């Protein structure tokens, strides 16, 4: 999805040796889609579980099956 990013140049404009390059930019570029999917899925599950907990723990006074349906999207 995202375009490729080159991290060959240091901030001062010179080239860094291969062993001095930070690993995080390369990992971030390769796994960007996986991290995004993980965070999005985690957010949806937290909303869904939260609305189920609200309905169950309130004994149905703070919502019903429609709240659960809206919470799960």
Distances (CA, A) of 38 to 43, 48, 51, 56: 9, 15, 20, 27
| CB within 8 Å of 70: residues ≥ 6 apart | 51
What are 63's two structure tokens? 């919502």
Q: What is the pLDDT of residue 26?
A: 87
Rounded to 5 degrees, what are φ and ψ at 65? -60, -30
Most confident of 3-12, 23-32, 39-48: 39-48
Q: What is the pLDDT of residue 9?
A: 52
Whole-angstrom distance, CA of residue 3 vs CA of residue 54? 42
Q: What is the pLDDT of residue 16?
A: 59
Q: What is the pLDDT of residue 24?
A: 85
Whole-angstrom distance, CA of residue 72 vs CA of residue 67? 9
Q: What percent of the chain has pLDDT over 70?
A: 74
Q: What is the pLDDT of residues 11-27, one digit of tens each?
A: 555 565 656 778 888 88
């Amino acid at each position: 999805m995202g375009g490729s990013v080159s991290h060959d140049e240091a901030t001062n404009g010179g080239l860094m040796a291969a062993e001095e390059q930070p690993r995080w930019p390369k990992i971030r570029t390769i796994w960007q889609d996986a991290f995004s999917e993980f965070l999005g899925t985690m957010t949806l599950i937290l909303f869904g579980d939260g609305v189920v907990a609200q309905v169950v723990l309130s004994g149905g006074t703070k919502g019903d099956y429609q709240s659960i349906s809206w919470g799960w999207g």
